[in-house]
Structure formats: structure tokens, C-alpha cells
Amino acid sequence: MKKILKYLTLITILPIISYFLLSYLLMFFPKKVTTNEPKNKSVYILYSAMHTDIVFNIEELKQPILKEFQEKKKGYLSFGWGDKGIYMNTPTWAEINLLTALKALFVKTPSIMHIGYYPNILRYSEIKKIDLTEEQLAQLEVTIMNDFANKKAYQGYTQSDFFYDAKNSYTLFNTCNTWTGEKLRKADVSISYWTPLSQNITASLP
């Protein structure tokens, strides 16, 4: 019986250790991109211990802005992707439901985009600035907008944020942070090849 319990423990723990070990090892081997083009544009990564958002200056957006934010002429818009159940029912990480979290990790669940407005993003301490060329900025914006399943808005946590149905499913291997990493890689930003954790994003950036 003790041997069986030992093997069951190993079967449970080893995949978890491998998951985190791989995610941290890949931080030391990021995709590196060099360019001679001037990097006169910027986006920001707003992050917490669990999640990352990509933040644009409204004045630099090229795509048609979402109608819920059309009256905003200045300021910033944050774009985040994640599990629909967690996003819409969990205003803060302290309120997360364990069953909802486990379902999101181990079952393919619907995803959603979360868009928020910030008058001034620079007052936040947990933020990373990324300098981009005009081409990189345009590519990043296009790849994000392509992930909207539709433009039907759901009210967010406040009057300054909204949810939208998104493409693809959330899983243990396709998290809110792998979404951020994928968008940055497609815009030729030097970033880890796999970014399941918020730390994978922040550690890859200067």
C-alpha cells in the first residue's frame, strides 16, 4: 500500500514539477529579435503575480477603436485574454473559486477578452515598457484584434472596462500569459518561447 501511495504521489508531483521547471528554464533562452528600424513607439505590460495585460496608448492605435471606448481620446487601453468563467466571476484573485480554477486549467473552457481604460498607466509600479517600431506596433494591434470572436460587449467590473467573446480555449498550456507571449512574439519582440506564468513575461523583458 505504501508503494502504491508513493507511486501515486510521484505521478501527481512530477508533471507539476516538470511544468514549472520547463517554464523557468525557457526564460533563459528567449526568442531574440534585432532590428535597425527606429523604435519610436511604446506599449506596456501591466502585470500581477498571476496575470499580464498588453496596454496601448489610445492616440497610437490604428485599428478602429471599440465603440465602448470611442469617446476616449487620450489615455490607455489594456487588453487581456483568459478563461471566461474566472474573468467574469472573479474581480480579484482573492475571490477565485477553486473549482472554477481547476476547470480552467484541466478542461478546455471558453475564453474572453477583457479591455480596460486607464487615464494614466504610468502611475502603476507593476508595469514594463516595451519600445517598438511602427511596424511592430501595427502587427501587435492586428494580432490582438484578430482574437475577438465578436464585438458584443459585456459589462466589466466598473464603468471603464468591458468583456468580449474571444477565440480559442483556455487550458493549462494555453494561459492568459501564453497569450501575451504569443502576441509579443508575433510582433517580433524578444520574449520566452513559452510563457505560462506572469514571471515568464516580466523576466524576458528589460
The mean pLDDT value for 89-108 works out to 59
Cβ count near 160 (within 10 Å): 15
Residue 96: per-residue pLDDT: 62
Out of 17-21, 107-111, 136-140, least confident range: 17-21
Residue 64: per-residue pLDDT: 84
Residue 13: per-residue pLDDT: 63
Residue 148: per-residue pLDDT: 97
10 Å CB burial of residue 133 (0-12, 13-18, 19+) is middle
pTM of the model: 0.85
| pLDDT tier, 10 (very low <50, low <70, confident <90, very high otherwise) | very low
Does the pLDDT at position 18 exceed 80? Answer: no
Count: domains in the chain: 1
Edge-to-edge order in the sheet of strand 41-47: 127-132, 41-47, 52-57, 76-83, 109-118, 161-170, 148-155
Using CA atoms of 194, 118, 40, 138 in order, give the dihedral in degrees to the nearest 10.
60
Per-residue pLDDT tens over the stretch 33-65: 777 789 999 999 999 998 999 999 999 998 888
Per-residue pLDDT tens over the stretch 62-97: 888 899 999 999 999 999 999 888 887 766 555 566
Domain interval for residue 25 = 2-204
